[in-house]
Amino acid sequence: MVGSTSATVGSVDLLLRGRRRELRERVFEGLLLATLLVAMLILVALLFSIVRRGWPVFADRGMDFLTSPQSSLPQRAGVVQGLIGSLILMVFVAVLAFPLGIGAAIYLEEYARDTRLTRLIVTNIRNLAGVPAIVYGILGLVIFVDFLRRVTGPGGGKPGVSYISGGLTLAVLVMPIVIVTTMEALRAVPLSIREAAYGVGATRWEVVRNHVLPYAAPGVLTGTILSLARAFGETAPLLLVGAITGFLATGSGTFLETLRGPYTTLPTIVFDWSRQFGQEFQQLTSAAIMVLLGTILVVNSVAIVLRNRFERRW
């Protein structure tokens, strides 16, 4: 309806009603376009104001900012612990939330009959995807930090506050999002593909594994990558399950000891520094945000490239 008809529609309308209406049309379209321009302006202002403040840190110290641990001295403080912490938490999310989320989505789209229980589960998942992140922090605090503290580890001073509790909390938080996006990707695969496979005698799992999943893979991948980026920037629930704000000693110990020990993440460092007064910390915060945003934007553009490359219209 967009292309050729609009010209005809336009000229007929002009003949019928005159030019005044044309002006209203133009103003309306301009207003609509302005809303998108404002959104773009906000984005530009945000990036500009952060790069302007954060750039001097990189200019003065170079890579040193990325490789130094936290410190109360702004000239020495760096983000290495946060980067490592965030990356370890992402591994938890990828290992726990992705298989469980994709499995649940496959069940709901491919296996489940339309029963009352199925509908209840789907509604519940959609709602879970909209529950504020901080509420998941309470879940993590009560279940993973307090109740399971024997498993989740000694932490640093506070029992149970560890990578494991943080990772589990983020995994639970991301799972509903993974399920919802995966379900959408599965739904986009046409029924005829499944019917063809069933027709030659494939079992349900064979249909899913060999026919549905390969076609849905780009969509599933995009969804999971985007949810990973979301988890990477998540802050509020981690404050509740005890990501350290402030100084954290660099630990030495076995891998398991580290996982059961205290941790910090990049976004919690950003939060912590943003509350310190003084221009130096504002610059540090901006520099840390540049690292955070840089990582997220790279991850997201990978997802978008994947989608554009492999997306298929049926």
Partner 1 sequence: MTTLTSHGASGAGFTAETLRGSTRRRRKELIIHRLFFGAAFLSMIVSALILLSLLGRAIDFLANIDLSSLVAPGWFPRQGMFDMRTIFLGTLLVTGVGMLVATPLGLGAAIYLSEYAQPRLRRTLKPILETLASIPSVVIGFFALTFISPQIVRRLDGQAGIFSLAAAGIGVGILVIPLVASVAEDAMHVVPAALREAAYGLGAKRMSVSLRVVVPAAVSGIVAALILGISRAIGETMVVAIAAGGTGGSLFTWNVFRPGQTMTAAMTSLAIGSDQVRGADQAFNSLFFVGLILFVLTFGLNLISERFVRRVRQRY
Site for partner 1 in 143-162 (CB under 8 A): 143, 158
| Nearer residue to partner 1 within complex by CB, 256 or 311 | 311
Does residue 305 touch partner 1 according to CB under 8 A?
no
Encoded tokens for 126: 């959609």
Q: Please say which residue, 21 or 76, places its beta carbon nearer to partner 1.
A: 21
Q: Which of 79, 229, 284, 291 binds partner 1 (CB under 8 A)?
A: 229
If one counts every other C-beta atom within 10 angstroms of the C-beta of residue 2, the result is 5
95 forms part of the interface with partner 1 (CB under 8 A): no
What are 76's two structure tokens?
Answer: 């020495």
Stretch that binds partner 1, among 34-42, 60-68, 77-85, 248-256 (CB under 8 A): 34-42
**Which of 94, 188, 245, 306 contacts partner 1 by CB under 8 A?**
245
Site for partner 1 in 73-92 (CB under 8 A): none
Q: Which is nearer to partner 1, 124 or 210 (CB)?
A: 124
By the rule CB under 8 A, 203 interacts with partner 1: yes
**CB 100, min distance to partner 1, A:** 5
18: left (phi > 0), else alpha (psi -120 to 50), else beta? left
| CB distance 168 to 153 below 8 Å | no
- Which of 72, 201, 309, 313 contacts partner 1 by CB under 8 A? 201
Which of these segments, 66-74, 137-145, 210-218, 248-256, binds partner 1 (CB under 8 A)?
137-145
- Answer for which of 80, 94, 100, 193 binds partner 1 (CB under 8 A) is 100
Quote the CA–CA distance of 248 and 225 in Å, as a whole number. Answer: 29
Task: Identify whether the C-beta of residue 143 lies closer than 8 Å to the C-beta of residue 172.
Answer: no
Check: CB of residue 248 under 8 Å from CB of residue 80.
no
Residue type, 244: I
Of the ranges 75-83, 115-123, 191-199, 247-255, which one interacts with partner 1 (CB under 8 A)? 115-123
State yes or no: residue 233 binds partner 1 (CB under 8 A). Answer: yes
3-state secondary structure 210-233: HHHHHHHHHHHHHHHHHHHHHHHH
Rounded distance, CA 302 to CA 208, Å?
26
**Residue type at 80 in one-letter notation:** V
Query: What are the structure tokens assigned to 250, written together?
Result: 């660099």
Write out the two tokens for 156: 């640093």
Question: Which CB sits closer to partner 1, 215 or 232?
Answer: 232
Range 8-27, binding partner 1 (CB under 8 A):
9-10, 12-13, 16-17, 21, 24-25
Phi, psi of 202, rounded to the nearest 5 degrees: -75, 150
By CB under 8 A, the residues from 269 to 298 that bind partner 1 are 270-271, 274-275, 282, 285-286, 289, 292-293, 296-297
| Start-to-end CA span in the chain (Å) | 20
Kindly determine how many residues on this chain lie close enough to bind partner 1 according to the rule CB under 8 A: 97
- Number of C-alpha atoms within 13 angstroms, CB side, residue 40? 5
Which of 2, 7, 59, 200 contacts partner 1 by CB under 8 A? 2
| SS3 of the chain: helix, strand, coil, percent, to 5 | 75, 0, 25
Task: Select 25 or 257, whichever has its Cβ closest to partner 1.
Answer: 25
Among 28, 56, 210, 310, the residue binding partner 1 under the rule CB under 8 A is 28
